[in-house]
């Protein structure tokens, strides 16, 4: 009887995994519930990469110096699984901004940046970065169609250039659907408790390869 139960369980797991075709990852926003960017490069019948139109004109000057290099870092080192294309604000589906100090205080304190991802154009919240376990009504399509990154406007006064570089690249990873990895991961630009990794790491590429 035990063997039959085990065999049935394995068969069920195979069926479910083949139906979902979304492997669990140390980086997914919600483990087992992966978010994928809506607009994707396609070669034949294969989805090859996330394609994101991004605009950083709303960033404070200190961040602007690292914007272009961060786009290049993801585009050149993501294993061809992500491409950020700099666009005018009116045609972008991802915005990077440093709100006013008065606007920033409306968000709960203690953070240097927030990334919000949506399944509509700046509507239909996919994931609440302030409380990842909350599930706002109507969000979970599993598809990212737009995103906005907010940086603490005071950060340019206390963050080093290297830290600002890390923050931009880290938040861009969230835009792609990557979350903070667990303790089993040795190196990642998505670490949130250490800023030692300012470039895209092998594990980040591995997760993106499972996404696209």
| C-beta of residue 181 within 8 angstroms of C-beta of residue 27 | yes
CB atoms within 10 A of CB 100: 10
Which one, of 79, 88, 76, 63, lies nearest residue 165 by Cα? Answer: 63
CA distance 8 to 52: 42
94 vs 192, residue with greater confidence: 94
52: enclosing H helix or E strand: strand 46-58
Domain ranges in the chain are 24-211
- Phi/psi of residue 114, nearest 5 degrees: -130, 140
CATH for the 24-211 domain, from 3.40.190.10, 3.40.50.300, 3.40.390.10, 2.30.31.70: 3.40.390.10
Rg (CA), the chain: 18
Kindly state the tokens that stand for 115: 């990334």
In this predicted structure, the answer to whether residue 126 has a pLDDT above a threshold of 50 is yes
Q: Which residue has the tokens 């139906």?
A: 19
- Phi/psi of residue 147, nearest 5 degrees: -160, 155
Q: Within 13 Å of residue 58, how many CA atoms lie on the same side as its CB?
A: 19
> pLDDT digits over 11-54, tens only?
322 222 222 333 344 455 444 455 777 766 655 545 567 889 99
Which one, of 163, 127, 162, lies nearest residue 143 by Cα? Answer: 127
Alpha carbon separation from 134 to 50, 77, 153, 210 (Å, rounded):
25, 32, 26, 25
pTM: 0.77
Q: Which residues contact 99 (CB under 8 A, 6 or more apart)?
A: 150, 153
> pLDDT digits over 132-173, tens only?
444 443 344 567 888 999 888 888 888 888 888 999 999 999
């Amino acid at each position: 009887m035990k063997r039959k139960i085990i065999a049935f369980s394995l068969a069920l797991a195979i069926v479910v995994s083949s139906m979902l075709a979304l492997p669990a990852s140390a980086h997914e926003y919600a483990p087992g519930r992966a978010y994928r960017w809506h607009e994707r490069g396609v070669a034949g019948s294969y989805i090859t990469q996330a394609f994101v139109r991004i605009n950083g004109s709303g960033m404070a000057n200190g961040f602007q110096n690292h914007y272009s290099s961060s786009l290049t870092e993801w585009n050149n080192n993501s294993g061809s699984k992500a491409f950020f294309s700099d666009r005018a604000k009116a045609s972008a589906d991802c915005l990077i901004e440093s709100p006013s100090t008065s606007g920033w205080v409306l968000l709960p304190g203690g953070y240097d940046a927030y990334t919000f991802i949506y399944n509509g154009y700046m509507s239909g919240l996919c994931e609440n970065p302030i409380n990842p376990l909350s599930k706002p009504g109507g969000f979970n399509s599993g598809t990212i169609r737009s995103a906005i990154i907010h940086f603490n406007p005071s950060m340019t006064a206390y963050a080093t250039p290297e830290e600002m570089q890390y923050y931009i690249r880290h938040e861009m990873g969230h835009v792609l659907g990557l979350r903070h990895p667990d303790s089993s991961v040795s190196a990642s630009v998505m670490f949130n408790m250490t800023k030692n990794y300012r470039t895209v790491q092998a594990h980040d590429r591995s997760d993106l390869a499972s996404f696209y």
